[in-house]
């Protein structure tokens, strides 16, 4: 195993809309291309030995987009899941969703459950899809669950520490991302994995998400390898 490789890469797949606009096409065209880019990338990342990829597919803030775009994204996700289930024997990738799934429509929630079940025995890369995901929302939901467990007497106030808190987050079984990638020239976290990215390295590229490719992934990993990670030490 290559110890200098990040085990977990988190990706903010930004720029689908602009990519479509440049081609005089609707935004949905860009999202569709973005989903294909993700699939290509997953295969490559699995090959080089990345263990986890978390993508921001739909944020708690994305509901304010037009009904048309929200529906497109939800339908695209359903299609993506259906395709995976149909061709499931061909894939090595294990998938689950993070975020507050209770706000998604029942059909999508059921599809996610089925997808997680079907892929649970896979041995390849773990893909975590952020759906109605927001870092602050995740932290608030964790705080509520901790409070409930204190009320029930399952834990004591003094048991609360960083490790315990982490175990109440959606990412409880996932190592923190060592590398966060954002495409399309924007340089902000936009409420993605707030707790988990405390010590992450960041890689920003002007490439729009549908144009992201293996070359760009390798650039990001190369830059990561050359960073001096001190974790607050010297």
- Catalytic positions are 14, 62
CB of 152 to ligand FPP, least distance (A): 35
Question: Closer CB to ligand FPP, residue 60 or residue 146?
Answer: 60
CB of 207 to ligand FPP, least distance (A): 12
Name the residue with the smallest CB distance to ligand FPP: 17
Question: Closer CB to ligand FPP, residue 13 or residue 104?
Answer: 13
Decide: 206 and 181 in contact? Cβ < 8 Å: no
CB of 147 to ligand FPP, least distance (A): 32
Binding footprint of ligand FPP on the chain (CB under 6 A): 13-18, 31, 34-35, 38, 55, 57, 62, 73, 76-77, 80, 129, 184, 209
Question: Closer CB to ligand FPP, residue 54 or residue 196?
Answer: 54
Q: Measured between alpha carbons, how far is 175 from 38 in angstroms, rounded to an integer?
A: 21
């Amino acid at each position: 195993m290559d110890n200098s490789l990040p085990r977990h890469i988190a990706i903010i797949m930004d720029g689908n809309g602009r990519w479509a606009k440049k081609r005089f096409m609707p935004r949905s065209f860009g999202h569709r291309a973005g989903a294909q880019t993700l699939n290509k990338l997953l295969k490559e990342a699995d090959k080089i030995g990345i263990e986890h990829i978390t993508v921001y597919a739909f944020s708690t803030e994305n509901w304010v987009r037009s009904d048309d775009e929200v529906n497109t994204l939800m339908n695209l996700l359903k299609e993506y899941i259906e395709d995976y289930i149909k061709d499931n024997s061909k894939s090595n990738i294990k998938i689950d969703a993070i975020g507050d799934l209770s706000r998604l429509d029942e059909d999508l929630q059921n599809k996610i459950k089925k997808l997680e079940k079907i892929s649970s025995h896979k041995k390849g890369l773990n893909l975590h899809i952020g759906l109605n995901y927001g870092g602050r929302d995740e932290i608030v939901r964790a705080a509520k669950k901790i409070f409930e467990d204190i009320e029930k007497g399952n834990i004591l106030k003094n048991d609360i520490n960083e490790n315990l808190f982490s175990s109440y987050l959606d990412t409880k079984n996932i190592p923190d991302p060592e590398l966060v990638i954002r495409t399309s020239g924007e340089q902000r976290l936009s409420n993605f994995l707030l707790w988990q990215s405390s010590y992450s390295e960041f890689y920003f590229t002007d490439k729009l998400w549908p144009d992201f490719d293996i070359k760009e992934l390798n650039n990001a990993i190369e830059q990561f390898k050359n960073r001096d990670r001190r974790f607050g030490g010297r």
